[in-house]
Amino acid sequence: MRWVFLLSSLTFVIVLEFVSRLWFHRPHIELDRDLGWGLKADFYHEFQMPGKPRFSTNSLGLREGGEVDGDLILVLGDSFTAEPGVTNQGMWFSILASELGNIDKKPYRVMAGGAGGYGTAQQLLLARRLKHLIKPKVLILQFCMNDFVNNHMEWEQYSVQRHQIHLRPYTRDGQTFVYQKSWAASLYRSPVFAHWRGFYLVDLLVQELQRRIYDSYFRPIDTVLERRFEEESRLLTTRLLSQIRSEFLDSEAYLLNVSSWDEVAIEAGFKPLKSHLLALEESAAQGESIHFSDKVHWNALGNQIVGRFAAREISEIRGLNSQ
């Protein structure tokens, strides 16, 4: 009977892996020794989702848009920049480059890097990897509120998104980076489990179950402790953003999608871009669909709105600075 059990178990694992690769196909992502994970370089794929978006990266692992011979815009971001819901030319950064080119009457080229789930520490590491390879005229860091949690190792322990926690590098000073040290972290980073999609699928199903139980991606946390973590992460995030800014001192620097945390951008030497937030609200109020089914990430129309308004805001900021 043992061989029957072994054969059944093997069959289950094979079927689970097959279903996982069909249902949760992420061919654009690979493990990265320093960053945890990232976009594959020299990659092209047409995703089988609504609109069949064409996703590609260059030799640096960056998505590209705009005109090849234009002034370079470098974007560092997370899933709002690096996930494949919209084709490269339809992403907000490509719309921004095109709109800014129309305003300035000259071409712009854009390269966008990062990956879904990235925090500011990973963007800092990526900035240091790129600074000797490209010289952008404009630097845009696309920021999300969850970056504050992603940047704080103790705070993120309350998250149920284990596949990010156990792969992510953390830092307190922007110089020394550490990773989770536990048997679970070692498991997630091991070559076998890191590439086993069936394991990833089971983890996502457990994560979704926990999310429904907690009605959040976080386990309950004491209010006083959360406030302490928030204040610590605000200081840490400002420090990390300042270091990203220092890597490209000769570039104009903007922070997009900052919501009510624009003071963090200013403290770190970035100019906040936020006109797109009101434009998105107004579009949604008029009944227009600006998000995918997750109700978070921008669809093609959402990306167009963000790109257009961000470009106009950059132009306005430049005009004010020249006065």
Would you give the distance in Å from CA 212 to the centre of its chain? 24
Q: Enumerate residues 6+ apart whose C-beta is below 8 A from 144.
A: 78, 80, 257
Query: Are 266 and 290 within 8 A, CB to CB?
Result: no
* 3-state SS string for 183-234: HHHHHHHCHHHHCCHHHHHHHHHHHHHHHHHHCCCECCCCHHHHHHHHHHHH
Q: Which structure tokens are listed for 77?
A: 């971001």
The pLDDT tens digits for 91-113 are 999 999 999 999 999 999 999 99
DSSP code string of 200-213: HHHHHHHHHHHHHH
Which DSSP state fits 270?
Answer: P
pLDDT value at 297 more than 50: yes
pLDDT score recorded for residue 197: 72
Strand, helix or coil for residue 155: helix
Helical (H) or strand (E) element with 7: helix 2-23
Give me the domains of the chain, ranges plus CATH numbers: 2-322 (3.40.50.1110)
* Between 172 and 187, the higher pLDDT residue: 172
Mean pLDDT for all residues in the chain? 90
The pLDDT tens digits for 23-76 are 556 789 998 999 999 999 999 999 878 888 999 999 999 999 999 999 999 999
Helical (H) or strand (E) element with 22: helix 2-23
Euclidean distance between CA atoms 12 and 55, whole angstroms: 32
Task: Please give the model's pTM, rounded to 2 decimal places.
Answer: 0.91
